Chains A and B, each alone.
Chain A
Amino acid sequence: MQPVYINGAARIGAKPITDISVASIQVEEPDYTQYIDKRKLRRMDRLSRFALHTTYAALEEAKIETIDGVVMGIGQTVSQTTDDMLRKMIEYQEGLTNPTRFMNSLLGTAAGQIALRLNCNGYSNTHTQRGFSIESALMDAALQLQTKSSQNIIVGGLDIVGHDLYAEMSAKYGQLTSAPSDKVNRTIGEGGATFLVSGQPSAQTQACLRSIFTVFLTDTARREWSAQELQRTLFGETIPTVDLIISGRPFGNEAQRSYDNILEAFSQDVPVINYKLQTGEFPTAAAHGLYLAVKALSGTEVKSRTTTPERILVINNYGERYLSAFLVTQQ
Chain B
Amino acid sequence: MNYGLMEPIYITGMGMNCSLGWTPEEIHTSLIADAKGGISNIEILNTRHRGTFPVGEIKRETEDLRAEITNQGGYQLNRTSILATKAVEQAIEQARHAHRAGGRLGLISGTTVGGMDVTEDGYINHVEGRLHNINFFQLGGAAFCAEYLAERLGGVQYLSTISTACSSSLNAIGNAVQLLQAGQLDIAIAGGADALCRFTINGFNSFRLLDQNRCRPFDATRSGINLGEGAAYFVLETETSLRRTGNKPIAMITGYGNHNDRFHPSSISPDGVGIQMAMRSALEQSKTPLDKVDYILTHGTATPNNDASEGAAIHNLFSEVAVPDYVSLKSSFGHTLAASGAINTGVGITSILNGTKYPNYNWTEAMPELSSGPLATTLEKQSVNNVIINATGMGGYCSSMVLSKT
Contact = CB atoms under 8 A, between A and B. Distances in A.
A178 B203 contact: no
Residue among B74, B75, B147, B207 with most chain A CB within 10 A: B147
Q: How large is the interface on B (under 10, 10 to 19, 20 to 34, 35 or more residues)?
A: 35 or more
Interface in B158-205: 158-165, 168, 171, 175, 178-179, 181-182, 184, 198-199, 201-205
Contacts of A123: 1-2, 258-260
B49 interface: yes
A148 B206 contact: no
A267 to B, nearest CB: 27
B131 A178 contact: no
B2 A108 contact: no
Contacts of B161: 127-129
B54 to A, nearest CB: 17
Given A82-B119, A86-B123, A108-B393, A143 B138 contact: no
A220 interface: yes
A211 to B, nearest CB: 11
Interface string B125-159: 00100010001111011111011101100101111
Contact of B396 (A112, A144, A175): A112
Interface in A223-274: none
A218 B265 contact: no
B119 A106 contact: no
Contact of A173 (B48, B138, B199, B265): B138
A97 B207 CA distance: 9
B262 A108 contact: no
Given A90-B124, A113-B265, A116-B396, A125 B202 contact: no
A102 interface: yes
A85 interface: yes
B137 A176 contact: yes
Contacts of B136: 78, 173
Contacts of B229: none
A121 B182 CA distance: 23
Contacts of A148: 1, 3-4
Given A105-B203, A214-B159, A121 B262 contact: yes
Contacts of B266: 99, 103
Contact of B137 (A93, A108, A170, A321): A170
A112 B397 contact: yes
A99 B265 CA distance: 11
A174 B159 contact: no
B143 A98 contact: no
B44 to A, nearest CB: 16
Contact of B397 (A108, A113, A140): A108
Q: How large is the interface on A (under 10, 10 to 19, 20 to 34, 35 or more residues)?
A: 35 or more
Contacts of A98: 206
B119 A78 contact: yes
Residue among A105, A115, A146, A178 with most chain B CB within 10 A: A178
Given A89-B198, A121-B274, A178-B147, A94 B49 contact: yes
Interface string A77-113: 1100010011101100110111101110111110111
A39 to B, nearest CB: 14
Given A86-B120, A140-B175, A121 B273 contact: yes
A23 interface: no
A69 interface: yes
Residue among B123, B262, B274 with most chain A CB within 10 A: B262
Given A78-B141, A218-B151, A121 B207 contact: no
B202 A94 contact: yes
A178 B78 CA distance: 14
A172 B136 CA distance: 11
Given A102-B203, A122-B1, 18 more contacts: A69-B1, A78-B119, A82-B116, A98-B206, A99-B266, A103-B394, A105-B199, A105-B203, A113-B395, A124-B164, A124-B397, A125-B175, A130-B141, A132-B160, A178-B151, A216-B147, A216-B150, A216-B156
- 6 A-B pairs with the lowest CB-CB distances in the bound complex, closest first: A112-B395, A102-B203, A115-B260, A136-B160, A107-B163, A108-B395
11 contacts: A77-B143, A90-B127, A94-B47, A94-B48, A98-B206, A99-B206, A101-B206, A103-B394, A118-B262, A148-B3, A173-B136
